[in-house]
Amino acid sequence: MTRLPNSVRVGPITFTVREVDLIDDVPLRMGSFNSATGEILIKASLPDDVKLVTFWHELVHSVLDMAGQKHNERMIDALSHGLVALFEANEWRIETNG
């Protein structure tokens, strides 16, 4: 079972991470982040492996947005899938607080 952290700090912002039933009233949306509210939302009903990639997808969005870098969904997907594969292939563990 994948346990996401309760919060994660990206630059000066500490994001609260929450699993929710519905994001922005869009049934197919899997995740979102909002630097104004300091939240990363992940759809609770996703399979664990999809939750993990979605979490990293939203983190990559936040890092690039805060750095003022232009990006698109294909780039974000490539980076998030690549990071998860890198962590798993090297047996790196990401400590969570909850």
* pLDDT tens digit sequence for 32-90: 999 889 999 999 999 999 999 999 999 999 999 888 899 899 999 999 999 989 988 88
CATH number of 7-89: 3.30.2010
Q: Which amino acid is at 35?
A: S
Residue 3 has pLDDT above 90, yes or no: no
CB atoms within 10 A of CB 42: 23
Q: pTM of this prediction?
A: 0.87
Radius of gyration of the chain (CA): 13
